[in-house]
Structure 1
């Protein structure tokens, strides 16, 4: 199973990027980061539409889509690992995690998403979300492998 992370905006060098890179290096599942941004200035609704199109175009068409959204479902690390394990066991080839822009996801992402996932009720900086999802992906991988990294 190949994991994709598509995010609006470019990550700058710094602690959040370093933390993302650390967990990405630990992964045995291939993890590809795709950064997108609209060069066009537009009102918020139009910008969300443009960003949604860019995010969806950055990942494989047949990918299982997980939209990171504060209104989504919250899952424990164990349930998150179970979900990924089910997809892996069903032969899903690609799972794509989408991080929207400052105004959230456009309608196209919501319609295409197989799962809307929240990392809790708080709002997180987009660069932190990259690191947090990379850590949870690594944790899920370790849970599924029976490794003691996760201490339930």
Structure 2
């Protein structure tokens, strides 16, 4: 099993990058005992593309073959953290690779969105992509904590 976080744009040294690194490090430590591998980050250079139509083939090529594709989209489902954790646990139990995708500034191409196995949203508001990365990294750590029965997630 592999978990890939695929995002359009490069995140330079910043407070957001420090948070992402912290949450993904926590995820790796907690996930190791659960059979969850560390998250691999793949960044698509958004300077080479202009808009979602140009980014779509770059994203498509970077998706690991056979991976369960979860796309971040404001029109997607809004699962509760325990539901997200349960899905991650089910995919782990099936031995499926997971690819979590965050699009560029214009979002994801409709044709690419149709390829998603699951579209999820952090609410109806639109968030800056660097903050979506932070929130997704935190939710991955929260999912591992829930699966491990740790007290990080309080209902």
- TM-score over 0.5 for the pair: yes
Equivalents in 2 of 1:40, 1:83: separation in Å?
34
Deviation at 1:59, TM superposition (A): 2.5
The 3-state SS of whatever aligns with 1:11 is: coil
Gaps (5+ residues) in structure 1? none
Equivalents in 2 of 1:139, 1:87: separation in Å?
16
The match for 2:113 is 110
Equivalents in 1 of 2:46, 2:138: separation in Å?
27
The match for 2:42 is 34
Matched, 1:151 2:154: yes
Aligned length: 147
Deviation at 1:91, TM superposition (A): 2.0
Equivalents in 1 of 2:59, 2:138: separation in Å?
21
Gaps (5+ residues) in structure 2? 29-36
Relative to the length of structure 2, the TM-score reads 0.88
Q: Which runs of 4+ in 1 moved over 6 A?
A: none
Which of 64, 67, 72 aligns to 2:76? It is 72
Matched, 1:126 2:135: no
Kindly provide the CA deviation profile for residues 108-141 of structure 1, in whole angstroms up to 9, marking residues without a partner as x: 3212100011011111110111110000001001
Tell me the C-alpha RMSD between the 2 structures.
1.4
Q: How does 1:53-72 map to 2 (within 5 A)?
A: 53-72=57-76
Q: Is the 8 A contact 1:52 1:107 kept in 2?
A: no
Matched, 1:11 2:22: no
Which of 143, 146, 153 aligns to 1:140? It is 143
Deviation at 1:38, TM superposition (A): 4.3
Deviation at 1:18, TM superposition (A): 0.8
Equivalents in 1 of 2:118, 2:88: separation in Å?
11
The match for 2:102 is 99
